[in-house]
Structure 1
């Protein structure tokens, strides 16, 4: 009966001294310190979280605007193409052979051919000169081929190279490329992209500095405790863990708050988008972040928080060891 009475306690004691048991106690101790410090310094902690959240929100909003600008450009602007005017002396069979040569070019995705009669009807449909064209004894309009480039060729330099290649083919009278809007759009998009990346880099630095300073204040507040822990033989990992978890916790909460602020921003500009829709005659809506993008922002913020806490903690712990 005595063995039966003490057997459960021995098993519990053996379990508490196992690797998993020690690991669970250390993790619990670290998170307990994180939440305890948060509650004891709730005003300063919330202020830090709000500053970091705003710093994350700014590049997030820039990314949302850039993503929606690209989607709007694809919706409002047609795919860049080249209009090839075929020599009027060519017959229909010769023109079709010429179209086959266009399709054989690797940068060409598709070609739409309009015969001379079809171009005449197209011109009459939108110009309003029906009677004037009927007075002419001969059709003055040439056959036209509309060449659509592949996706990788939709760049200004490649479009001009394709234009020069088409111009060299025998039977081509002229090649027209209207890429002014495309060039301006690409320049504007690249400018916005550079601005977003620049702001993001500065915001990452700001977030790292804010988290590092918060960890430094935490270390200063617990200086005596850390010294005692070092004297009784606590490992560096045991001392580091609460501060690292504090960085992770700060990055996580700040990222979630930044996503909420980004959603509020999207809701606030819905009325402006309605006005834009009335002007352009198209339904314009701002698309927010997808789940993948949101998770990526949260993960990135957690990594920044962990790295900032690790660097700051190692730096100040080494200084404390030197001083002591």
Structure 2
């Protein structure tokens, strides 16, 4: 029994010692990082502001794309197809045709207007109601307005569905009201592409700025690094303060970028409210959600860590111990 108990105690003691050493190394690295940041506060803040602006640009571009999609959902109607039914169809045939239209998987719902209803609509909106009264019979056909499902609201799908409807017997014509939808889709796709391009360039610039800052920090402490190598410090021990420095710069820069983004939203919100009031509607700019903000912060921290690791390892490989 005693032989079985003693190894467990030694393992527990060894694990506690390892944990204490690990905690001391982590504490030393963080103290080193904060001391270096405060000792070079001006240069550190200048680096932080440059990175924060670089992060703010793609963030604002993303907000513009996000609010453009929100505005399209609020201001623009759903693209629909207007089916003009043959005037010679009987009521029974028309009912069967409407049932057939409802059976298509692209259809969410159908609004049917009889010939009398289309005549009244024409009188109400055209201003030529008296001219229709002079005619012997109603020249307007019955109309079925098809509202597609959400997954079918794509230009290619709608045009293919339009061609399919034109082949149905009893359908004279099908008009697709998607001119605005096509333009809006092209506009949002363009904004999305611009956001991606700006983001890629800004990620590269942020990596270069963080890497250059870490490189200057390493160059200023090169003698300390040489001494640490001489006394047997591991590469991980030497790397850790610089990695934490990159993470700290990324974190603070992300916080400043979020603040700048909120300032942008606050400044532009009043302008958007005035413009939307002219169009007789109300539209409020949406800022970043908590999930999006946390994602930006985490991404900036990871980017700072990677940039610092690449820059530090590259420099350590070229160093020579005198």
**Normalising to structure 1: TM-score of the pair?**
0.92
Please state whether the residue corresponding to 1:173 is helix, strand or coil.
strand
Is 1:203 aligned to residue 202 of structure 2?
A: yes
1:20-43 per-residue CA deviation (whole Å, 9 max, x = no partner) reads 211111111000011110111100
Distance 1:15 1:163 in 2: 75
Corresponding position of 2:3: none
Summarize the alignment of residues 183-198 of structure 1 with structure 2, pairs less than 5 Å apart. Answer: 183-198=182-197
Distance 1:302 1:183 in 2: 39
How far residue 15 of structure 1 moved from its aligned partner, in angstroms, is 9.2
Distance 1:273 1:155 in 2: 28
Summarize the alignment of residues 115-194 of structure 1 with structure 2, pairs less than 5 Å apart. Answer: 115-194=114-193
Distance 2:92 2:201 in 1: 62
Stretch of structure 1 that moved more, 125-134 or 68-77: 125-134
Give the paired residue count: 310
Corresponding position of 1:33: 32
How far residue 99 of structure 1 moved from its aligned partner, in angstroms, is 1.1
Summarize the alignment of residues 213-292 of structure 1 with structure 2, pairs less than 5 Å apart. Answer: 213-292=212-291
**Contact 1:273–1:285 (CA<8 Å) still a contact in 2?**
yes
How far residue 17 of structure 1 moved from its aligned partner, in angstroms, is 6.4
How far residue 123 of structure 1 moved from its aligned partner, in angstroms, is 1.6
Distance 1:240 1:155 in 2: 51
Summarize the alignment of residues 16-95 of structure 1 with structure 2, pairs less than 5 Å apart. Answer: 18-95=17-94
How far residue 134 of structure 1 moved from its aligned partner, in angstroms, is 2.8
Corresponding position of 2:297: 298
Distance 1:17 1:92 in 2: 87
**Contact 1:84–1:172 (CA<8 Å) still a contact in 2?**
yes
1:198-256 per-residue CA deviation (whole Å, 9 max, x = no partner) reads 00000000000000000001111110111111111111111111011111100000000
Corresponding position of 1:316: 315
Distance 2:74 2:270 in 1: 20
Distance 1:150 1:17 in 2: 61
Distance 1:297 1:55 in 2: 12
Corresponding position of 1:3: none
Stretch of structure 1 that moved more, 131-140 or 165-174: 131-140
Distance 2:19 2:36 in 1: 26
How far residue 278 of structure 1 moved from its aligned partner, in angstroms, is 2.5
Distance 1:274 1:17 in 2: 61
How far residue 106 of structure 1 moved from its aligned partner, in angstroms, is 1.7
**Normalising to structure 2: TM-score of the pair?**
0.93
Stretch of structure 1 that moved more, 262-271 or 202-211: 262-271
Structure 1: gaps (5+ residues): 1-13
CA spacing shift, 1:98–1:152, aligned 2, 3 Å? same
Distance 1:154 1:101 in 2: 20
Please state whether the residue corresponding to 1:286 is helix, strand or coil.
coil
Distance 1:130 1:52 in 2: 65
**Contact 1:85–1:173 (CA<8 Å) still a contact in 2?**
yes
Calculate the aligned-residue CA RMSD, in Å. Answer: 1.5
How far residue 95 of structure 1 moved from its aligned partner, in angstroms, is 0.9
Distance 2:277 2:80 in 1: 29
1:252-288 per-residue CA deviation (whole Å, 9 max, x = no partner) reads 0000000000011111112311321232111122110
**Contact 1:107–1:150 (CA<8 Å) still a contact in 2?**
yes
1:107-129 per-residue CA deviation (whole Å, 9 max, x = no partner) reads 22221111112212222222233
Distance 1:197 1:191 in 2: 10
